[in-house]
Amino acid sequence: MNQRTVHPCGFFLICGILSVANLCAQVPAQGSAAPKPWPIRVVIVTPMSSEFDHWGEREHLSETVDLPGNTQPLHTNAEHTILGLISGASLPNAAGSIMVLGLDPRFDLTHAYWIINGIAGVDPEDASIGSAAWANYVVGDTMREVDPREAPADWPYGLFANGGPQVTPGATPVTVRPGSNSYTLNASLVAWAFQKTKDLKLPDDPEIAAFRAAYTGYPNALRPPFVLIGDDFASDHYWHGKILTQFANDWVKALTGGKGSFVMTEMEDSGFLNSLYRLDAVHRVDLNRVLVLRTASNYSIQPPGVTAVASLTTRHPGGSKLAMESAWLCGSTILHSLVDNWDKDYDHIPAP
């Protein structure tokens, strides 16, 4: 069979012509105005498609728009006032997806509110599977590490802060540069969101109720799902167990100057906040309009009498479903309030 070959110079010439044609197609014709960016009111952010399903179906976000640089398209309503972003799991995906959206000139995000939500592991000291926590603080996992077998005998962990002391219960808070490893959200907006949702009856499940009954000695883990204010620790390590949960408590408290309280663990939120922090600095978004809502799909600690490894590999399969229902119920309550009161919320951020 004969094969046709293209000389390298011809190949690059063709590529150049196509590139110029593509660029010209994006430039408005002479005398025509560039299309106005969509005035976005709320951005819904989830790491995974399954976490977005309820939002897409129940909030009628049926239109899709390509987002160059992101693996998933954006979802929007008919009025083009609400965007749904699926970032992909992990910190790099979270940071990258927010950045490409924030820099896209097709969207005016200067007055947009952000509802970042998804499933998470929960400390059974604080809440139960299906519970929903609004965060005042998001803390990242940038740190130093030695194998605990090589650590000094008085160190409880082999993990410690960059430029800071070993993190121990009651340790001196670590000084963190703003926007580096710890992010403070608008406490007034968080309090308003909590006030609007604290009395919601979150869904429960008889099988989940039986599963949580094993957590004797943890009163909040035994409760039906409820809404609370609680902070989260974002890490690309999927960790589990009593020791690492205690570390998360100590770490969050240390990196928030003793003000934060660890409740939820997930793999994206410090990535989301890092990009939003940078976009706020160039006036593309308003960091004061960001909410982080995490809902519990599993416990971060093994139940009494069970090893950490056994607990990690026997998560209840219904936990994620329950958590996603809670996320939509709480998040949509806030979404509807913002949209229904947009004449006021455009200029004035809600407060309790």
Per-residue pLDDT of the chain (352 residues; tens, 9 = 90+): 333 333 433 333 333 333 333 433 444 555 567 789 999 999 999 999 999 999 999 999 999 999 999 999 999 999 999 999 999 999 999 999 999 999 999 999 999 999 999 999 999 999 999 999 999 999 999 999 999 899 888 888 998 887 666 787 776 677 777 778 999 999 999 999 999 999 999 999 999 999 999 999 999 999 999 999 999 999 999 999 999 999 999 999 999 989 999 999 999 999 999 999 999 999 999 999 999 999 999 999 999 999 999 999 887 779 999 999 999 999 999 999 999 999 999 999 999 9
Which of 297, 318, 326, 299 lies closest to 119 in space, CA to CA?
A: 297
The pLDDT assigned to 171 comes to 67
Q: Which residue has the tokens 């592991």?
A: 121
Interior/surface letters 240-277, b for 16+ CB within 10 angstroms, e for the rest: bbeebbbbbbbbbbbbbeeebbbbbbbbbbbbbbbbbb
Q: Domains of the chain, with CATH numbers?
A: 35-343 (3.40.50.1580)
Is residue 237 within 8 Å of 245, Cβ to Cβ? no
In sign, the C-alpha dihedral spanning 282, 288, 294, 299 is positive
pLDDT at 283: 98
Q: What is the pTM of this model?
A: 0.89
CB distance 283 to 129 below 8 Å: no
